[in-house]
């Protein structure tokens, strides 16, 4: 418990230090999303040069290129292959936190949810409040539905941001929806990755591409640790989001706290998170 308190105090201090003091972050989000495309540089014809000549029998360049290719592939594959080879348990389809440790909780025996493991393996829904202890607050929801079909999941989030300004309160909403593959799963952890869409809900909203990578870990009852990284675009802006939470689960409910950092072009939004997650 002392370690948890240290983590929370450290994250809180980081939020206070990192929180921008100049305000109008939400307006900077809009400006970045709707910034005009930069003008393309004029192309200049390349003049032929006889200064160098490639020897068709010299395979040293090919060997170097192959080595670089293998290195890049290894770096890209490492976040997938290492967890898969270390933690995956073939045939394990349901990840429901610590729910299965409570024998009196029913396991999909309700006709309301089709009474079928072939449709939904597990699901999680959560609501949370975020703040930078200054001028920014947020209210968000998240939903993930796990299917036993090829270990695929549908996940979506929706966050409303409210920023206090001298002229009033600014507001916008960010959301995403992703199709992910749970490439690692066992009774104590699940790892997932996939692609989807980001969107900005405002009077002049926009959409973009999203790549997501996340992990949930059950280290010791009742602790739940979850982290997620999103990389993508939103309109003409780049988007980066990282979040990590730590919570305690009792029966099928979890109370958690954590930290989230959102970077959209020139706007940065760090926040502490407090929320509730329902496991099914």
- pTM as predicted: 0.81
The residue among 184, 203, 16, 159 whose CA lies nearest residue 88 is 184
137 neighbors 26 (Cβ within 8 angstroms): no
Main-chain phi, psi angles of 264, to 5 degrees? -125, 100
Is 10 inside a domain boundary? yes
Task: Give the CATH number for residue 107.
Answer: 2.40.160
> Can you give the pLDDT of all 280 residues of the chain as single tens digits?
555 555 445 555 544 444 444 468 999 998 888 888 766 666 666 665 555 555 555 555 667 777 888 888 888 889 999 999 999 999 887 888 887 666 555 545 444 444 455 678 889 999 999 999 999 999 999 999 999 888 999 999 999 999 999 999 999 999 999 999 999 999 999 999 999 999 998 667 899 999 999 999 999 999 999 999 999 999 999 999 999 999 999 988 999 999 999 999 989 999 999 999 999 8
Is 61 inside a domain boundary? no
Q: What's the domain count of the chain?
A: 1
Non-local (6+) Cβ contacts of 185 within 8 A are 88, 89, 92, 93, 95, 151, 191
Is 59 inside a domain boundary? no
Is 216 inside a domain boundary? yes
The residue among 162, 203, 194, 151 whose CA lies nearest residue 176 is 194
Q: Which domain range does residue 180 map to?
A: 2-20+82-279
């Amino acid at each position: 418990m002392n370690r948890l308190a240290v983590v929370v105090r450290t994250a809180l201090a980081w939020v206070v230090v990192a929180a921008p003091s100049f305000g109008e972050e939400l307006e900077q989000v809009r400006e970045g999303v709707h910034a005009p495309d930069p003008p393309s540089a004029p192309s200049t014809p390349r003049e032929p040069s006889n200064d160098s000549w490639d020897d068709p029998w010299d395979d040293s360049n090919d060997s170097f290129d192959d080595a670089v290719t293998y290195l890049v592939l290894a770096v890209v594959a490492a976040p997938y292959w290492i967890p898969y080879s270390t933690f995956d348990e073939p045939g394990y389809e349901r990840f429901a936190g610590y729910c299965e440790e409570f024998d009196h909780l029913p396991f999909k025996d309700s006709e309301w949810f089709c009474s079928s493991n072939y449709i939904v393996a597990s699901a999680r829904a959560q609501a949370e409040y975020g703040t930078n202890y200054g001028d920014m607050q947020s209210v968000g929801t998240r939903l993930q539905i796990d299917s036993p079909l090829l270990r695929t999941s549908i996940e979506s989030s929706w966050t409303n941001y409210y920023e206090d300004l001298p002229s009033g309160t600014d507001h916008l909403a960010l959301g995403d929806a992703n199709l992910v593959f749970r490439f690692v799963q066992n009774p104590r952890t699940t790892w997932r990755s996939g692609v989807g869409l980001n969107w900005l809900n405002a009077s002049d909203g926009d959409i973009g591409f999203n790549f997501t990578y996340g992990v949930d870990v059950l280290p010791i009852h009742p602790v739940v640790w979850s982290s997620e990284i999103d990389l993508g675009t939103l309109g003409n802006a780049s988007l980066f989001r990282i979040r990590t939470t730590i919570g305690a689960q009792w029966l099928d409910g979890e109370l958690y706290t954590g930290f989230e950092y959102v970077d959209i072009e020139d706007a940065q939004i760090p926040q502490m998170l407090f929320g509730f997650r329902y496991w099914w």
